[in-house]
Amino acid sequence: MMPEPPDAAGRRGRPPVVVYPVGSLPGADMAMLEAARDALAKVSEVIVPPRDARAFSVPAGCFFRITSIEGAQVGDLNLWNAADLTERFFSGKTRALHATHLGKGDRLWSTLPQLRPMATITWDTLGWYGWDADGAGVHDVIGTRCDPYTHRLLSGGEYHHCCHSNLSRALAAARGMPVREAELLVHDVLNVFMCTGFTRDTHQYFMKASPVRPGDFIEFFAEIDLLGALSACPGGDCGTTHSSDAAACFPLKVEVFQPAAGSLPGWRPAPASGYSRTHGVG
Ligand SMILES: [Zn+2]
């Protein structure tokens, strides 16, 4: 290892600067959304079986809610623009704009070149959890999803019920496309209910048993027309293992709700970024 330079302490002592100050980020009108969610009419429901995934559609201006039922269970969420599947949830930029874990008021941003809010989190019954003594939080955008390629890399063999495969099958079924085509549209997830962090000494990604209990839910407002897919992770509460049939797994419920007419005054679906896309050429 290289010896430290004489000014090492000074170099390490520079103050951290938040990369994207949230004060300049366009936020949702939370007062309007909270008022609108007082009178919601349920329009559809999907039960996601354990170790599997299901797709669901949410029109712009509606709410959708993911609820724990039967037992502690983590869900891996993908979101696409229903009219253009190449526009999808941008986990990395959402992490950079908000934080490693999301909560009420945070937004799920889409990929470039649109970079717009796809959904806004309007309720989270696990908001009380905050940051625990291990530095962990709930609903992360740091894990990518369990997948059979990493499983094969690390353990060998084939396992077909990782979240990546579950989401691929769900999208293929929803849009009538081959699963090998669908998997190219599956992307890094919001880890719903998952409790994760980075170890303090080695900064490695860790998971611990989710604090979610039946009845807990996270709720979103759709800022554009959405196609969603949710996988009930084979890791169950992700307290011990994943990418196998070893953990106890439970279903998850997805419900879509419509607010009352006139309850979103002045609201419009989020527009795509206004950047010219010339990138300085021409
Ligand atoms: Zn998973």
Mean pLDDT across the stretch 264-274?
Answer: 96
CA of 145 to the centre of ligand 1 (A): 5
Residue-level pLDDT at 105:
97
* Cα separation values, 260 from 62, 127, 209, 257, Å: 10, 26, 38, 10
Q: For residue 104, what pLDDT is reported?
A: 98
Q: How far apart are the CA of 89 and the centre of ligand 1, in A?
A: 17
Distance 199 CA to ligand 1 centre (A): 20
The Cβ of residue 139 has, within 10 Å, a number of other Cβ atoms equal to 27
CA 147 to ligand 1 centroid distance, Å: 7
Q: What is the pLDDT of residue 242?
A: 79
**Nearest in space to 108 (alpha carbons), one of 98, 100, 169:** 98
pTM value is 0.96
Distances (CA, A) of 198 to 98, 100, 207: 17, 10, 9
For 23-40, what is the mean pLDDT? 93
**Could you tell me the distance, in angstroms and rounded to a whole number, from the CA of residue 32 to the centre of ligand 1?**
34
- Distance of CA 10 from the midpoint of ligand 1 (Å): 42
The length of the chain is 282
Q: Is residue 243 over pLDDT 80?
A: no
CA distance 143 to 137: 12
* Location of structure tokens 């998971």: 207
Distance of CA 236 from the midpoint of ligand 1 (Å): 8
Alpha helix (H) residue ranges in the chain: 8-12, 30-36, 91-97, 148-155, 163-175, 179-182
Burial class for 141, CB neighbours closer than 10 Å (0-12, 13-18, 19+): buried
Q: What Cα–Cα distance (Å) separates residue 50 from each residue in 70, 72, 235, 241? A: 11, 11, 10, 15
pLDDT, tens digit, 9 for 90 and up, residues 107-120: 999 999 999 999 99
Torsion angles phi and psi, residue 274, rounded to 5 = -90, 5
Banded model confidence at residue 21, pLDDT cuts 50, 70, 90: confident
